[in-house]
Structure 1
Amino acid sequence: MGAESSLYAWESVEKDGSRALVTAAWAFAEANASCEILRLAGLEPDARYRIRSLCGLSVKLLLRQFFPSLPDQAFCVLPDGTELYGAELMYAGLHLVNQTSYGGSVQFLLEKV
């Protein structure tokens, strides 16, 4: 990420390009933080990938206890289950935003459909 960013990210892709696991973490919260663009690598450009957040329901319910106004899409601009081409994910990227009042983290599983 850029020099001004507090976002750190890791990506692991299956050798055959069928799945990828993406982890993103913010080192600290920022007031009025802008959207971060995370460009992925190693995907098949012409394949479609379904994006699922691995932030479990129990974590979401816990966050709601402390942050009732937290939107369902607290970390990713895209709704869960969105399908995008590998080329889109590698060149346009995932648009991430930290809408919590602390440094947060999220994991996404991308599966070829």
Structure 2
Amino acid sequence: MSQKSGTHFTEKQGHYLAFIYTYAHMFGRPPAETDMQRHFRVSPPSVHQMIVTLERNGFIRRQPGVPRSIEILVPPESLPILEWLGIKTSKSLTRSPLSLRHTPSLGYLRIPAATPPRW
């Protein structure tokens, strides 16, 4: 199933898609539903329903019975949260001079790597 032409996702769907994209680039594998449950602080059925909805709308693809098999079908540059964070999709996140740091209230943010103070 491929992304439906002209279909747009909601803000909440965009957050889930951005989380899946960012998680996969940070950890080298897609997130499990429990990872999304912890991040968004929602119930397991809520996460599962969102995943089913994203798949039904053609934004992701999964392999039945295979854990962590979520594949994003949306172009990364169309994810609004990544645009807001200033993440350049043409470069690998791991090779970027900026790193992603988790903050409890805001999720993952790009923060310049700290430089040691000069004494």
TM value normalised by structure 1: 0.24
Identify the structure with bigger relative contact order (alpha carbons < 8 Å, sequence gap 6+): 1
Higher strand share: 1
Please say which structure displays the higher CA radius of gyration: 2
